[in-house]
Structure 1
Amino acid sequence: MCGIAGIFHLETAKPVDPDRVRRMIDVMPHRGPDGAGVWTAPGVGLGHRRLSIIDLAGGAQPMANPDESLIVTFNGEIYNFAEIRAELEERGHRFRSHSDTEVILHAYRQWGEDCVHRFNGMFAFALFDKGTQSLWLVRDRLGVKPLYYARVSDGSLIFGSELKVLLAHPLLRREPDPSAIEDYLALGYVPDDACIVAGVRKLGAGEHLRLVRGRGMPEPRRYWDVSFADRSTAKPAALMEELTALMRDAVRSRMVADVPLGAFLSGGVDSSSVVALMAEASPRAVKTCTIGFDVPSLDETRHADHVARRFATDHRTRLVSPDDFGLLDTLVAHFDEPFADASALPTYRVCELAREEVTVALSGDGADEAFAGYRRHLFQHRGDAARRLVPDTVRKPLFGALGSLYPKADWAPRWLRAKTTFQQLGMSGAEAYAHAVGVTPPEMRRRLYSEGFARQVGGHRAEDRIVRAMENAPARDPLDRAQYADIRIWLPGDILTKTDRMSMAVGLEAREPLLDYRLVEFAARLPVGQRIHGNSGKYLMKRAMEAYLPQDILYRDKMGFVTPISHWFRGPLAGEAEAVAHRSALAQSGWFDAGTMARVVDDHKAGRADHGRLLWQLLVLDRSLTRLFG
């Protein structure tokens, strides 16, 4: 796990100043505390920050082959590098190190761009081919590792693992993109097809970009996508056996490291499954860690303790207060772009705890997206069943009217808050799901925007990308389409961004075995009934793990990291809410309607509405924009 950066002149092989590349990598020491390297040649410069995981002595980067015709800077891990290396050695290749980085160079020499199909891992890398005067940028299938890039005025393309790397280049213009602010307010994060800094792009999950000097700037191409179009016809018992084998192999392949290794353990199905399979594969006690809260309703430590005792792990727990908003500026500095998922706070704390004893930690990320584990998947599944029963000519006007008339009762018990349900039943399945995964609905955004800012946003609507993804998904069922949108948009934009930035903030490598692409492809072929059964999501996965985990772990209600942000803005952050509405840089920007912002604060403080998430979004946005644009 590392950080990469570079400069490539697209038209003319102008000299690249090594100090400029060095300044780019120097802004992310957290991603590579164990070393740094810069390599330059006419028209190209590559930089690297290293967190040593495999081949501690011989894996320094940027790495070249013996004649320096190929040079790579690489962030991530290739988990099957030993198998690829063995095949290459049979074909006559000779290696000078034991690193997975060198495998990339030899695999490219053997198979060209097709080598990426052989890699099982998390990665973002840039490979310069001197013979073709080309730079090849590649990102892993699911988007675990990030890669930003932009063109600048001297005719070069600059790239890096974080936005701050590009901002360190003096020719990058710092202007906010209004469309990205619309995306952020709608979704709570800036998705991979957008960036808060105008002109900056992110290479998408499963994409690669070949830049050949003198041929201009092409568009990225996708080399992998998940398909829900096929269905397995295997019996449930055979599916369980195959799933267990895939999970076991995914976990074991991610336990290869030359540094201390452990796991996050929340006590939920996903992390508990990973720990169970690690314990099965390890001759020593697995190191596990859990963050608990001093509020009983938010605390999961007893479930984590249960799993830790079952597998005799070397377990550590630390209680923290959910009132950890003092981390806000630290989070803003590491995310660069505004990021409003408040679970980043406890994620930072659990990474911090893990890093005290290990350098690599396995997580349970990805199973909810792959196996339909979110409550919204169940609601979407049921909602689409209802849509099929009631003709559109009746359903849309009936539920649309009910949604308009029913009061928004934030204060009421969950079963009385039917307004959103009625509204979504009046929409198409894709529109309903786009609203379900959002944070601030379109009507609130329209009220917030000033007339001038609304004109800048134009016809752009954040939800449209989700609707398009679902409508164009390689899928058979509405649930397929929802999961496809999650894997393409939500997973890399929110979940994996959070894990990458928070783990890297403390110099920790996080690995996601449940996002092994073979597992994701297997899950996409499952019949719907093996994903959702009754009220249970991740049905087949839970059945398969019954051999390892107790029922009260497998079938308890999902919690996840929770932070009491609504309470904060009625208590310790009440002054921050007032400042955002009246005295902040955001309030002075002219983008938002001052009266609407003031009413949002007043209604929340008075308990007339719950605007905690929106106020957190606005506070994070204000801090992020101030940091980025002054």
Structure 2
Amino acid sequence: MCGIAGLYYPAIPKPVDPARIVQMTDALVHRGPDGSGVWATAGVGLGHRRLAIIDLEGGVQPMATPDQGVVVTYNGEIYNFQEVRAELEAKGARFATGSDTEVLLHGWRAWGPRMLDRLNGMFAFALYDASAQSLFLARDRFGVKPLHYAELSDGAVAFASELKGLLAHPLFRRTPDFKAVEDYLGLGYVPDDTSILAGVKKLPAGHFLLLERGKPVPRPQRWWDIDFSKRATGKVRDLEAELLDMMRSAVRARMIADVPLGAFLSGGVDSSAVVALMAEASKAAVKTCTIGFDEADHDETAYAQMVAERFATAHRTRKVAADDFALIDTLVDAFDEPFADASALPTYRVCELARESVTVALSGDGADEAMAGYRRYKFFAAEERARSLLPQELRTSLFGTLGRLYPKADWAPRPFRAKTTLLALAENGEHAYPKAVGVTGPALRNALYSDAMRKALAGHTAEQRYTDTMRQAPARDGLDRAQYADIQHWLPGDILTKVDRASMAVSLEAREPLLDYRLVQFMATLPPSLRIKAGQGKWLMKKALEPYLPKDVLYRPKMGFVTPISAWFRKALADEAAGLGRSKLLQSTGWFDLHAIEKLAADHKAGRAEHGRTLWQLLMLERSLNRLFG
């Protein structure tokens, strides 16, 4: 795993100072502590920081063909590079290294942009073609690896793995994007196609950008998309066997490394499945690690230990305090942009623990989105069935009235929190689901904003991108559309950003076998009844894993990395919450009504309302703005 950065002048080939590229890559040293390199010529400069994983001696970057006609700087892993290499060698290509990087050079000459279709991996790379004087930027199907870019005042297009690589360039101008603040408060993260800084873009997952000399910067082009519109046929037993075989293949492909390798083991279904299949494929004990909490309600170490003993792994556990919020500033530095998924704290800790013994760790991320593992999918599917029984006008009248009359009770057990469900049933699925997956709802956001902010947003809402995506999804039903939208937005914007930044902060490569695109596409074809059945998400996957894992692991309620942020803001962080209402930095933005924020914190501390997640968002926003503009 690595960090990449560079400059390209699309209008005229201005000279590139290699020292400027070094400044940008030095900001990414945590992504690649094992080496660095720069390649530059008139009009283009490519930089690289290397975390050596495969071909430790030969995989130095930037890497060029012998004639310097094609040069690449690359972050990621191509898991099927040996098969692609064999195909290229049959075409006459001659390889000088054993690195997967070299496949990109010969692949470009053989196939151009269509080489992406042959790659199975996680990647973000920049490839310069000297004969065409073009720069090709590409990102993997799901957005496992990040890539930011921006146009500078001297005409250059600058790119980098992380925002901090762009910030290191002296011509980069820091101006906040207030629309990204709305997106962040609504969703909990700055979406994957925008940035907290105006002018910065993220190359979307499954897209490429071809920059050509003498032409304006174009829009990114999509080169791959998931399809939920097809349905697999066959006996359940046969589909189960096919699913397991694909999972097994995906795990084995990601066990190739020339450095120590292990796995995260939370005790949940997904990470336990990965460990089980790793143990099946490994002669040595699999190295596993688990983070536990000192509060029983948040601790899953007993389940992780059960799996570790079952597969005789070399297991390590470390417990952290449930109030482990000392990492806040570390996370702010790692993420650059505001990021409100509090599970980033334990994710960082488990990466930190893994890095003590391995350089590569396999995770279980991806199956929840592809196989409907989150509880919200079960509730949404039930709502969709209810919507299908009544016409829209009747639902709007009946459930809308009941929802408005029903008291709001965030503090109550879920069965008694009917207000949200009633209001959701009054809407269609494309409008209801984005609110269900969001963090701070439209009404509360609107109450927190200043008059000037509300006017400036001019109707822009965080939920609209979800609604548009669900409407346009290649899908058959509401569950399909919800999963498709999550794969487009939630997966790259939240889950994969969290894992990438937390792992790279400690120079650890994280691999996600359950995001093998062939496996995910197969999961997307499974009928909804095989994704959710008898109240169980990931039903077919769990059935396939019954010979491997205890039922206590497979069928217990999903917990995930739960962080007790609501309790923090009533106790240890209560003063921090109150301070948000007096923040000079937030006041200087002109975005917020500070009296509304002050009341929000007071109501939460007194137990009159539940605002823990919103307070966490505001705290992380303030800290991030302070880092970027303070």
Instruction: Give the TM-score range, shorter chain.
Output: over 0.9
> Residues of 2 paired with 1:193 and 1:108: CA distance?
26
> Residues of 2 paired with 1:241 and 1:564: CA distance?
39
> Residues of 2 paired with 1:354 and 1:594: CA distance?
42
Question: 1:141-160, aligned counterparts within 5 Å?
Answer: 141-160=141-160
> Residues of 1 paired with 2:35 and 2:299: CA distance?
38
> Residues of 2 paired with 1:587 and 1:268: CA distance?
42
> Residues of 1 paired with 2:414 and 2:604: CA distance?
18
User: Is 1:417 aligned to 2:417, yes or no?
Assistant: yes
User: Is 1:398 aligned to 2:398, yes or no?
Assistant: yes
1:221 maps to which residue?
221
> Residues of 2 paired with 1:479 and 1:590: CA distance?
39
Question: 1:98-247, aligned counterparts within 5 Å?
Answer: 98-247=98-247
Question: 1:47-62, aligned counterparts within 5 Å?
Answer: 47-62=47-62
> Residues of 2 paired with 1:433 and 1:199: CA distance?
30
Contact 1:301 1:317 survives alignment (8 Å): yes
Contact 1:163 1:336 survives alignment (8 Å): yes
1:340 maps to which residue?
340
Q: What letter is aligned with 1:259?
A: V
**Superimposed CA distance per residue, residues 475-533 of structure 1 (whole angstroms, 9 cap, x where no aligned partner):** 00110000000100100000000000000000000000000000111011111111011
> Residues of 1 paired with 2:593 and 2:530: CA distance?
48
Contact 2:149 2:201 survives alignment (8 Å): yes
Q: What letter is aligned with 1:133?
A: Q
Structure 2's unaligned 5+ residue stretches are: none
> Residues of 2 paired with 1:59 and 1:387: CA distance?
55
> Residues of 1 paired with 2:163 and 2:520: CA distance?
28
Contact 1:72 1:128 survives alignment (8 Å): yes
Q: What letter is aligned with 2:35?
A: G
2:426 maps to which residue?
426
> Residues of 2 paired with 1:115 and 1:349: CA distance?
37
1:28 maps to which residue?
28
Contact 1:580 1:587 survives alignment (8 Å): no
1:612 maps to which residue?
612
Contact 1:448 1:592 survives alignment (8 Å): yes
Q: What letter is aligned with 1:29?
A: V
Q: SS state of the match for residue 326, structure 1?
A: coil
1:41 maps to which residue?
41
> Residues of 2 paired with 1:584 and 1:321: CA distance?
31
Contact 2:580 2:598 survives alignment (8 Å): no
2:327 maps to which residue?
327
Question: 1:267-306, aligned counterparts within 5 Å?
Answer: 267-306=267-306
1:503 maps to which residue?
503
Stretch of structure 1 that moved more, 86-95 or 178-187:
86-95
Contact 2:448 2:593 survives alignment (8 Å): yes
Contact 1:30 1:506 survives alignment (8 Å): yes
1:248 maps to which residue?
248
Q: What letter is aligned with 1:546?
A: E
Instruction: Give the TM-score normalised by the residue count of structure 2.
Output: 0.99
Deviation at 1:588, TM superposition (A): 3.9
> Residues of 1 paired with 2:137 and 2:369: CA distance?
26
Q: What letter is aligned with 1:339?
A: F
2:596 maps to which residue?
596
Deviation at 1:88, TM superposition (A): 1.4
Deviation at 1:147, TM superposition (A): 0.3
> Residues of 2 paired with 1:455 and 1:583: CA distance?
22
2:368 maps to which residue?
368
Question: 1:517-556, aligned counterparts within 5 Å?
Answer: 517-556=517-556
1:357 maps to which residue?
357
Contact 1:290 1:304 survives alignment (8 Å): yes
> Residues of 2 paired with 1:589 and 1:480: CA distance?
39
User: Is 1:387 aligned to 2:422, yes or no?
Assistant: no
**Superimposed CA distance per residue, residues 271-293 of structure 1 (whole angstroms, 9 cap, x where no aligned partner):** 00000000000000000000000
> Residues of 1 paired with 2:563 and 2:258: CA distance?
35
Deviation at 1:458, TM superposition (A): 1.5
> Residues of 2 paired with 1:286 and 1:548: CA distance?
15
Q: What letter is aligned with 1:388?
A: S
Deviation at 1:93, TM superposition (A): 1.2
Instruction: Give the TM-score normalised by the residue count of structure 1.
Output: 0.99
Deviation at 1:414, TM superposition (A): 2.0
**Superimposed CA distance per residue, residues 433-486 of structure 1 (whole angstroms, 9 cap, x where no aligned partner):** 010010000000110100111122222111000001000000001100000001
Contact 2:183 2:191 survives alignment (8 Å): yes
Contact 1:268 1:558 survives alignment (8 Å): yes
Stretch of structure 1 that moved more, 341-350 or 317-326:
317-326
Do the aligned partners of residues 584 and 613 (structure 1) sit closer, same or farther apart at CA in structure 2, a change above 3 Å counting?
Answer: farther
Q: SS state of the match for residue 597, structure 1?
A: helix
Deviation at 1:415, TM superposition (A): 1.5
Q: SS state of the match for residue 609, structure 1?
A: coil
Deviation at 1:322, TM superposition (A): 1.5
**Superimposed CA distance per residue, residues 325-382 of structure 1 (whole angstroms, 9 cap, x where no aligned partner):** 1100000001001000000000000000000000000000000000000000001100
**Superimposed CA distance per residue, residues 380-426 of structure 1 (whole angstroms, 9 cap, x where no aligned partner):** 10000000112212111111112111111122222211111111111
Q: SS state of the match for residue 258, structure 2?
A: coil
Q: What letter is aligned with 2:543?
A: R
Q: CA RMSD in A?
A: 0.8
> Residues of 2 paired with 1:111 and 1:102: CA distance?
14
Deviation at 1:589, TM superposition (A): 2.8
Q: SS state of the match for residue 38, structure 1?
A: strand
Overall identity of the aligned pairs, in %: 65
Q: What letter is aligned with 2:140?
A: D
> Residues of 1 paired with 2:167 and 2:449: CA distance?
28
Q: What letter is aligned with 1:177?
A: D
Q: What letter is aligned with 1:266?
A: S
Deviation at 1:590, TM superposition (A): 2.3
> Residues of 2 paired with 1:375 and 1:584: CA distance?
39
Deviation at 1:237, TM superposition (A): 1.1
Contact 2:5 2:160 survives alignment (8 Å): yes
> Residues of 1 paired with 2:36 and 2:618: CA distance?
36
Deviation at 1:584, TM superposition (A): 4.1
**Superimposed CA distance per residue, residues 1-40 of structure 1 (whole angstroms, 9 cap, x where no aligned partner):** 1000000001100000101100000011110000111110
> Residues of 2 paired with 1:584 and 1:511: CA distance?
41
Q: What letter is aligned with 1:276?
A: A
Deviation at 1:196, TM superposition (A): 0.3
Contact 1:584 1:622 survives alignment (8 Å): no
Contact 2:351 2:506 survives alignment (8 Å): yes
Q: Across the two proteins, how many residue pairs are aligned to each other? A: 630
Q: What letter is aligned with 2:297?
A: S
> Residues of 1 paired with 2:162 and 2:31: CA distance?
10
User: Is 1:494 aligned to 2:494, yes or no?
Assistant: yes
Q: SS state of the match for residue 469, structure 1?
A: helix
Q: What letter is aligned with 2:512?
A: E
> Residues of 1 paired with 2:584 and 2:344: CA distance?
23
Q: What letter is aligned with 2:168?
A: A
> Residues of 2 paired with 1:486 and 1:229: CA distance?
16
Stretch of structure 1 that moved more, 354-363 or 392-401:
392-401
Contact 2:139 2:204 survives alignment (8 Å): yes
> Residues of 2 paired with 1:594 and 1:239: CA distance?
55
Q: What letter is aligned with 2:26?
A: D
Q: What letter is aligned with 2:164?
A: K
**Superimposed CA distance per residue, residues 220-278 of structure 1 (whole angstroms, 9 cap, x where no aligned partner):** 10000001111111211111111111101100000000000000001110000000000
Q: What letter is aligned with 2:44?
A: V
